[in-house]
Amino acid sequence: MRLAAYIFAIAVYLTVTIPSLRTIVTPADVDTRGDRIEAMQILAAGNSIMMITLGAILVFQVSRLIHLVLYLTWFVFRVAKSTHAGQRLES
Protein backbone atom coordinates (compact mmCIF):
# COMPACT_ATOMS: atom_id res chain seq x y z
CA MET A 1 0.00 0.00 0.00
CA ARG A 2 2.80 2.39 0.87
CA LEU A 3 4.58 1.69 -2.40
CA ALA A 4 1.40 2.51 -4.31
CA ALA A 5 1.11 5.80 -2.39
CA TYR A 6 4.74 6.68 -3.19
CA ILE A 7 4.20 5.92 -6.87
CA PHE A 8 0.99 7.96 -6.88
CA ALA A 9 2.76 10.96 -5.30
CA ILE A 10 5.57 10.73 -7.86
CA ALA A 11 3.05 10.44 -10.70
CA VAL A 12 1.19 13.54 -9.48
CA TYR A 13 4.48 15.40 -9.21
CA LEU A 14 5.57 14.46 -12.73
CA THR A 15 2.22 14.98 -14.44
CA VAL A 16 0.90 18.03 -12.58
CA THR A 17 3.61 19.94 -10.76
CA ILE A 18 6.31 20.13 -13.41
CA PRO A 19 4.05 21.25 -16.29
CA SER A 20 2.31 23.78 -14.05
CA LEU A 21 5.62 25.21 -12.91
CA ARG A 22 6.77 25.50 -16.52
CA THR A 23 3.62 27.42 -17.40
CA ILE A 24 4.05 29.76 -14.43
CA VAL A 25 7.80 30.39 -14.66
CA THR A 26 8.36 30.44 -18.43
CA PRO A 27 5.01 30.97 -20.13
CA ALA A 28 4.77 30.40 -23.86
CA ASP A 29 3.60 33.16 -26.18
CA VAL A 30 0.13 31.63 -26.30
CA ASP A 31 -0.24 31.49 -22.48
CA THR A 32 -2.39 34.30 -21.12
CA ARG A 33 -2.55 35.61 -17.58
CA GLY A 34 -5.63 33.42 -17.09
CA ASP A 35 -3.62 30.36 -18.14
CA ARG A 36 -0.97 31.19 -15.57
CA ILE A 37 -3.59 31.64 -12.84
CA GLU A 38 -5.18 28.33 -13.80
CA ALA A 39 -1.74 26.67 -13.67
CA MET A 40 -1.27 28.04 -10.13
CA GLN A 41 -4.64 26.64 -9.08
CA ILE A 42 -3.78 23.24 -10.57
CA LEU A 43 -0.39 23.37 -8.83
CA ALA A 44 -2.09 24.08 -5.49
CA ALA A 45 -4.50 21.18 -6.00
CA GLY A 46 -1.64 18.84 -6.93
CA ASN A 47 0.31 19.91 -3.85
CA SER A 48 -2.74 19.22 -1.68
CA ILE A 49 -3.13 15.76 -3.19
CA MET A 50 0.55 14.99 -2.60
CA MET A 51 0.34 16.30 0.98
CA ILE A 52 -2.64 14.01 1.72
CA THR A 53 -0.90 11.04 0.10
CA LEU A 54 2.35 11.56 1.98
CA GLY A 55 0.38 12.11 5.20
CA ALA A 56 -1.29 8.75 4.63
CA ILE A 57 2.15 7.18 4.23
CA LEU A 58 3.16 8.64 7.60
CA VAL A 59 0.01 7.20 9.18
CA PHE A 60 0.85 3.78 7.73
CA GLN A 61 4.40 4.03 9.11
CA VAL A 62 3.21 5.05 12.58
CA SER A 63 0.61 2.30 12.70
CA ARG A 64 3.28 -0.24 11.75
CA LEU A 65 5.57 1.12 14.48
CA ILE A 66 2.79 0.93 17.07
CA HIS A 67 2.04 -2.65 16.01
CA LEU A 68 5.72 -3.55 16.41
CA VAL A 69 5.93 -1.94 19.87
CA LEU A 70 2.80 -3.77 21.04
CA TYR A 71 4.13 -7.10 19.75
CA LEU A 72 7.50 -6.57 21.44
CA THR A 73 5.79 -5.61 24.71
CA TRP A 74 3.65 -8.75 24.56
CA PHE A 75 6.73 -10.87 23.80
CA VAL A 76 8.77 -9.38 26.68
CA PHE A 77 5.94 -9.96 29.15
CA ARG A 78 5.50 -13.52 27.88
CA VAL A 79 9.22 -14.27 28.29
CA ALA A 80 9.26 -12.64 31.72
CA LYS A 81 6.22 -14.62 32.78
CA SER A 82 7.67 -17.93 31.60
CA THR A 83 11.03 -17.12 33.24
CA HIS A 84 9.28 -16.20 36.50
CA ALA A 85 7.23 -19.42 36.40
CA GLY A 86 10.40 -21.46 35.77
CA GLN A 87 12.10 -19.88 38.77
CA ARG A 88 9.14 -20.81 41.00
CA LEU A 89 9.38 -24.45 39.94
CA GLU A 90 13.10 -24.59 40.74
CA SER A 91 12.64 -23.11 44.22
Instruction: List pLDDT tens digits, range 80-91.
Output: 888 776 665 554
Over the chain, what is the mean pLDDT? 87
Q: Which of 4-8, 22-26, 42-46 has the highest average model confidence (pLDDT)?
A: 42-46
Please choose, from the candidates 84, 12, 88, 90, the residue with its C-alpha nearest in 3D space to the C-alpha of residue 52. Answer: 12
Instruction: List pLDDT tens digits, range 52-71.
Output: 999 999 999 999 999 999 99
Helix (H, G, I), strand (E, B) or coil at 32: coil
Distance CA 61, CA 5 (A): 12
Indicate the pTM of the whole model. Answer: 0.67
As a whole number, mean pLDDT of residues 42-56 equals 92
Distance CA 1, CA 67 (A): 16
* Res 87: pLDDT: 65
Angle between helices 33-90 and 18-25 (to 10 degrees): 140
